[in-house]
Amino acid sequence: MNKWIRKSAVVLISVLTFGLITPTQLINSVNGEKPSERDTVEETLLGSYGRETSYFQEAEVDKEKFIGELLKQAELQSYQKFGTRIKPVIENEFREIIMPNIEKALHDTALQFPTEDLLNLTITESPGKGQSEKIFNIKNSDTKKDVLRFHVRRDNPPQAGYWFNFHYHTYHDGFQSHHELGSIYWDKNTPPKWMS
């Protein structure tokens, strides 16, 4: 029975400390003993494991920076599409309502790609003019194929004025389904053409 309790305590300590404190280290510190050569080797290995962990976290930070850069470009492309007549009217709502949803869509997409492949994603530089829905696309620069397409559609429900409906499409279903990002009210009057 005593061995079973001791083994359970060893497992519990290892689990609770995520393996950073070995049971031998804990017993030695309780008994006031100096660390053995084996404990020193274990600490060295744990130290290098900790460095590997921080390297992985740095890779994640680079991924976050990359997504942040895509997001900045997405915002600039959006403002370019809105033009000088639409941008001042909807800019604040766009930043508060739509941009967080674009960011979420980019994060969700980033989870589907390893970091090496994620770095191949680029944003297009030509929003659609006039009545076109295209704001920007995210494409794989190696395959030259689109991964995401971000659009804005003009909606005019009966007696409700004009709305800008922001949505995106993914390559998963051949760009068929609309994934909603949100809508912004314009006015009862017809909005000007994009990029005007």
One digit per residue, the tens of pLDDT, for the chain of length 196 reads 555 566 555 555 555 554 445 555 555 544 455 555 444 444 433 343 333 333 334 445 467 888 888 899 999 999 999 999 999 999 999 999 999 999 999 988 888 888 777 878 889 878 888 889 999 999 988 889 999 999 999 999 999 999 999 999 999 899 999 999 999 999 999 999 999 8
**Half-sphere exposure at residue 86, Cβ-oriented, CA atoms within 13 angstroms:** 26
Cα separation, 74 vs 105, in Å, equals 12
Q: Which two tokens stand for residue 158?
A: 């009966």
Cα separation, 22 vs 9, in Å, equals 11
pTM, to two decimals: 0.67
Cα separation, 177 vs 169, in Å, equals 6
Q: Where are the domains of the chain?
A: 58-187
Q: Residue 140: exposed, middle, or buried by beta-carbon count in 10 A (0-12, 13-18, 19+)?
A: middle
Q: Which two tokens stand for residue 4?
A: 């079973």
Cα separation, 180 vs 161, in Å, equals 19
Cα separation, 66 vs 173, in Å, equals 25
- State the DSSP H helix or E strand holding residue 148, giving kind and residue range, or none if neither: strand 145-155
